[in-house]
Structure 1
Amino acid sequence: MFKIGEFSKLMQVSIRMLRYYDEQGLLKPAKIDPFTGYRMYSTEQIPRLQEILLLRDSKFSTTEMKAIMKARQEIDLRSELEKKKIQIEKEIQLEQDRIEKINHAVKELKDRKFQMYCNINYKKVETFWIISKRERIPTYFHEGLLWKELCAFVEREHIVISQNIYNNVAIYHDREHKDHDVDVEVGMLVTTPGKEKDGFTYRQVEPIDKMAYAMVYGPYSNLGNAYEQIAYWLESHQEQMAEKPSRQICHIGEGDGVSPEEYLTEIQIPLK
């Protein structure tokens, strides 16, 4: 089972929203520790959370969500989604992305095919030096701006980047998933430290004796499903997350001149 912060990070849903779903009776914790009061969650709750998020993203109100979830019949959920689809199609063109998401979700609910595109295992990660930029950014989607700043600084200062198996890392310092004001650090591996300047820092990244990692193939949209798969893997292997930042490494990405289907991203979760 997972503490609320751990479940938040793996499911990419903020603690605030998990507590709200608890208060509204949509998703109660699987267990509450009688001594600490900690809310505990299980992988068995992931499908229900997925349906809640689907309804939320499809503009269903909390009252509507309660009624649909109470029915607990897939055919009812599909029917309600189709009604919402018709409603959205009458709205402005900016809603087109939302309609496509509903179409995709309805197909998944009908076929029950939640396909994964990742391999999961664990390994030991040694310490390494990076030149990095760490900031609180509005959302995770703004991470690219940090990378642009870092790459420009590296090029301007003629910094030599390590040509190892990989040469980059993103470190997520928040202990939970957050929708806004996220603490992100982006770094590029170097062989030797240099002089800090303009908010760019040289530092050694902490070694991890036991790191769960997932090699995720395909577009970045696969990452959300990969985190869910990691949750199943951790519980089935009776592993516990350490209270340390998670990481991501881009092995093949948009800067490599390949199609999104050829991307390769590594997710790393420190374990106890």
Structure 2
Amino acid sequence: MFKIGEFSKLMQVSVRMLRYYDEIGLLKPGKIDKYSGYRLYSIEQIPILQKIILLRDIKFSAPEIAFALEHWDEHFMIQQLENKKEKIQAEIRLEEQRIDKIKIAINAFKNKEIITNCNVSFKSIPSFIILSLRKVIPTYNCEGILWTELSRFVEQEHIEIVRQSNNNLAIYHDEGHKDADVDVEVGVMVKKIGKNKDGFTFRETEKIDRMACMMVYGPYENIGLAYQSFAYWLEQHAQYKMTGLNRQVCHRGPFEEKNPNNYLTEIQMPVIEKSKKIH
């Protein structure tokens, strides 16, 4: 058997970690010398420690490692590794989004372009027929999943859509911004009402008499800054207030452009004059 220091050298694991694994019950010494109190490890414990090291290095927590060791078999571990891979990929996407925000902030500071002004135009938006899909999704960044499902349904059902650059819209049904479990509806303009199926719904949109509209150029990360600049616009134009559900129209996006710098998104915010009442 090996003393803890010897086992540490051979397995390239610190003595501190071996003692920690002993304390939490992941890897108890094979034997403790009754005279010296030394922790002793056997050759049979090497495969167990190898499994612990593998799982530790791919971000399994101590409880997850303990559970995996208790249920170790090929089918179970493949599923556990797939789950961990998906979780890490989601974390990577989140970190990449944070990096993009950092880049935008750096450019803004360099160019002194922290936006407080925006160009707002008014439109009267008529009611029109859309085919829509509305779901609660994990975050706003998952909206692309809805668009993919909607596009697939349009193709499979041979639905005739209105062919124009602004024939699609996303409507956000939550009262305020949410960090998770967001209620989003995506839709495309169609020429006629069809039969609802599998969560896909044909409906007429609401007519909006006065819609405040802003064009946002570049990657979707710019949209947050545009909403913030709209807050400054409302402060400067105190006669208006927001009402109803905001929309976004994609004029150019990932389906048309490979370069995010070429994206063009229109933010639409219903507003009324404060002196007027909603009918």
Structure 2 distance, partners of 1:206, 1:95, is 38
Aligned letter for 2:217? Answer: Y
Structure 2 distance, partners of 1:257, 1:111, is 26
The answer to whether residue 239 in structure 2 is matched with residue 241 in structure 1 is: no
> Which whole-Å deviations, capped at 9, do the CAs of 1:181-209 have from their partners, x for residues lacking one?
10000001001100111110000000100
Structure 2 distance, partners of 1:100, 1:200, is 33
- What is the correspondence of 1:1-272 to structure 2 with a 5 Å cutoff? 101-102=101-102, 105=105, 108=108, 112-115=112-115, 119-238=119-238, 239-242=240-243, 244-272=244-272
What is residue 67 of structure 1 aligned with on the other side?
none
Distance 1:109 1:258, change over 3 A: closer
Structure 2 distance, partners of 1:135, 1:219, is 24
Structure 2 distance, partners of 1:258, 1:204, is 32
Distance 1:158 1:229, change over 3 A: same
Structure 2 distance, partners of 1:147, 1:103, is 27
Structure 2 runs not aligned, ≥5 long: 1-93, 273-279
What is residue 50 of structure 1 aligned with on the other side?
none
Structure 2 contact 170–249 (Cα < 8 Å) conserved: yes
What secondary structure sits across from 1:215 in the alignment? Answer: strand
What is residue 34 of structure 2 aligned with on the other side?
none
Structure 1 distance, partners of 2:255, 2:102, is 30
Structure 2 distance, partners of 1:202, 1:186, is 12
What is residue 26 of structure 1 aligned with on the other side?
none
Structure 2 distance, partners of 1:100, 1:154, is 32
Normalising by structure 2, what TM-score? 0.58
- Which is greater in Rg? 2
> Which whole-Å deviations, capped at 9, do the CAs of 1:145-190 have from their partners, x for residues lacking one?
1111110000000000012351101000011000011000000100
Structure 2 contact 117–229 (Cα < 8 Å) conserved: no
Identity %: 52
Deviation at 1:99, TM superposition (A): 6.5
Higher relative contact order (CA 8 A, sep 6+): 1
Structure 1 contact 134–185 (Cα < 8 Å) conserved: yes
Structure 1 distance, partners of 2:196, 2:143, is 21
What secondary structure sits across from 1:155 in the alignment? Answer: helix
Deviation at 1:257, TM superposition (A): 3.2
Structure 1 runs not aligned, ≥5 long: 1-93
Structure 2 contact 130–202 (Cα < 8 Å) conserved: yes
Aligned letter for 2:241? Answer: Q
Distance 1:114 1:194, change over 3 A: same
Aligned letter for 1:181? Answer: D
Structure 2 contact 137–181 (Cα < 8 Å) conserved: yes
Distance 1:116 1:252, change over 3 A: farther
Structure 2 distance, partners of 1:190, 1:95, is 38
Structure 2 distance, partners of 1:163, 1:96, is 34
What secondary structure sits across from 1:256 in the alignment? Answer: coil
CA RMSD of aligned residues (A): 2.6
Structure 2 contact 117–230 (Cα < 8 Å) conserved: no
Structure 1 contact 125–211 (Cα < 8 Å) conserved: yes
How many equivalent residue pairs?
179
Structure 2 contact 250–264 (Cα < 8 Å) conserved: yes
What is residue 39 of structure 2 aligned with on the other side?
none
Structure 2 distance, partners of 1:177, 1:196, is 29
Structure 1 distance, partners of 2:151, 2:96, is 34
